[in-house]
Amino acid sequence: MGLGDRLRRLDGRVLPPLGSAARRLRAGAGRRRVIASTGMVGAAILIVLAVIWTAGRGARPVDDSGSVVRVGVEQGADIPSYVDASGRELTELAKVSPAPTWALVSLSAYASPAQAAATAVGVEVARVYARVPLPRTQTEIIAMDIAALPGGLDAEMERAAVRKDADAASYGALAVKLSGTSAEEADQRAVYEGARAMAAAEAAAYRAHCACAYALVVRAAPAELLELAKRPFVRAVDPAPELTRFERSVFLPPLPEQEGAAGPADGALSAPSPPVGTPPAR
């Protein structure tokens, strides 16, 4: 077989899937995309050349370990549209596949470990996203990998409390070192004291096993995910059947208080009264 024939056969095998992928990305704009590692264009050329070179010698597996799957709502995207699109995708997936899949479950209010466990009963939970929703305060978002609810989340909150205690002590020590009377040192000391107070408040909340969980990463069959989507605390269930390697993923759940456009993950500023412990009426 000549090189031209091999290229035509390659076009027939590669271009239709690429077209399907492009259509899916357009349909889900703002929800998910696959980010390739640096140099993917060059890697793609090498793969094409390798396919031509080995044509007729049997297919070989292609290593796509350089790609990362992003699941959730992208910064600036419309959250209500994301919620609707996630629901439609889950409904369609349940019609065609019974296979278990990963999914991002966004909650409509911050939940305690017990409330998160009641919400996710019957499905496997691998990760919880949590933060202490102090009013008008940007607190740290923590991804907590767990084996079970509520015990696993309780344990992770205890660990977070210990770390926040250490943070508070460090900030306090830095504040004490600034003993000068200049305006600059006074301002810096105030920054450290504010950080110490916030870390101490976070430590106290986690030690009390607070209502701080706002998203779950679960694995279940699509039919089970449809049932999960109907539960009181659940705002959206975003299935990710393309996710095959959990460690090659980025999850972007919206905060419960975000209602319009999604803000940056590192700009988590609570509303004056964030929804805590009780989901809003639908």
CA angle 174, 180, 183 (to 5 degrees): 100
Confidence of residue 259 (pLDDT cuts 50, 70, 90): confident
**E strands of 100-247, at which residues?**
101-111, 124-130, 142-145, 213-220, 234-240
Does residue 41 surpass a pLDDT of 90? no
If one compares 24 and 173, the residue with the highest pLDDT of the two is: 173
Confidence of residue 281 (pLDDT cuts 50, 70, 90): low
- Please, what is the average pLDDT of the chain? 80
Confidence of residue 3 (pLDDT cuts 50, 70, 90): very low
Return the pLDDT at 282.
58
Does residue 210 surpass a pLDDT of 60? yes
Summarised one tens digit per residue, pLDDT across range 42-82 is: 433 333 333 333 333 344 344 445 588 999 998 889 999 99
- pTM confidence score: 0.75
Which of these, 233, 230, 205, 208, lies nearest to 109 by C-alpha position? 233
Residue type, 83: V
If one compares 145 and 15, the residue with the highest pLDDT of the two is: 145
Q: How many residues does the chain have?
A: 282
Summarised one tens digit per residue, pLDDT across range 220-239 is: 999 999 999 999 999 999 99
